[in-house]
Amino acid sequence: MTAPLLELDGLHVDFHLRSGTVHAVRGLSFTLGRERLGIVGESGSGKSQTGRAILGLTPPPGHVTAKKMTFDGIDLLNANKETWRKLRGRRLTMVMQDPKYSLNPIMTIGDQIMETFRSHVKASRSEARDKAIEMLEAVQIRDPGRVFSLYPHEVSGGMGQRAMIAMMLVTDPDLFIADEITSALDVTVQMEVLHILDELVAERGMGLIFISHDLKLVSSFCDRVLVMYGGRVMEELSASQLGNAQHPYTQGLLKCLPTLDNASRPLPVLTRDPEWLA
């Protein structure tokens, strides 16, 4: 296999608050090639903080430490501003949960896509505009010229999220982090967005980290799955092997999902072993 895209060894993210220290991520390690990795967990499991840490965007008072954290051989732990500017938005990118908040409300969608493009690639306004329209078409927005001039509050959630994806893929990055990108959308819209993402990731050969709380969704979409709880990895397995999960937490999660043919009453509840937090 070719050199790994992302190498993470012993990642710790701690928040030093006045009431004590919160260990959001505890000793996370994995490597990622040009494949799709899913990170599943409930709220507070540390999955979002992992994504932020990889991009160097851990909010203060957070503190990131690791034995090793490299992207394509570039050290991310001690990267300076220049390095980050070259990486973020260009080779390493992320889409967040709610386009209502992650899009600048007073800039048109087209302007925002053009901005991303022109800050990394030397291009004229018309070149950037063409590229933006091209990207909007790639995410299957039917009237890209019209949507180009719209403001974020004038489009639906699904369209906004697709625009966001367009914005983050316009520079053809190597690694794409999807942080709960469908959690704020209706179920039908979710499938549309995921379908688009699926195609784009496949045709560009990007690495993908798909963060979600939805185990079923992740397993249908990714090659490998990391199950997180309390900041730690409980289990790492390939998506096809989910049925043979070994760890009681993963098994518990699977059991909690009701299926059409197995209507067990009462619905099973996850029993949490405090040892998992140790």
Partner 1 sequence: MTSSGRYRDLLGKTFNIVFMMAATLLGLLLITFIIGRKMPIDPVLAIVGDHAPPEVYRRVREELGLDLPLFEQFWIYVKQVVVGDFGVSTRTSNPVLTDIASVFPATLELAILGTFIGTVLGVPAGVLAAVKRNSMADQIVRFIGLIGYSVPIFWLGMMAFFVFYYKLGWVGSDGRIDIVYLYSFTSITGLTLIDTLLQGQMDAFWDAVSHIILPASLLGYYSLAYISRMTRSFMLNELEQEYVIAARVKGLSETRIIWRHAFRNAAVPMLTVIVLSFAYLLEGSVLTETVFSWPGLGQYLTNSLLNSDMNGLLGATLVVGFAFVVLNQLSDVLYRVLDPRTRL
Residue 87: CB minimum distance to partner 1, A: 7
CB nearer to partner 1: give 87 or 208: 87
CB nearer to partner 1: give 101 or 276: 101
CB nearer to partner 1: give 94 or 141: 94
The residues, any chain, with a CB within 8 Å of residue 92's CB and separated by 6 or more, are 54, 55, 71, 173, 174, 175, 177
User: Can you give the binding site for partner 1, defined by CB under 8 A?
Assistant: 55, 57, 81, 84-90, 93-94, 96, 98, 101-107, 115-116, 119-120, 151, 153, 164, 167-168
Residue 71: CB minimum distance to partner 1, A: 13
Length of the chain in terms of residues written: 278
Residue 113: CB minimum distance to partner 1, A: 10
Closest CA to 41 of 210, 274, 273, 267: 210
Residue 271: CB minimum distance to partner 1, A: 35
CB nearer to partner 1: give 68 or 153: 153
Helices then strands, each counted (H, E), the chain: 10, 11
CA 266 vs CA 249, 256, 262, 263: distances in Å:
19, 10, 12, 9
Residue 13: CB minimum distance to partner 1, A: 16
Q: Which amino acid is at 265?
A: R
CB nearer to partner 1: give 54 or 133: 54
- Does residue 41 contact residue 229 with C-beta atoms inside 8 Å? yes
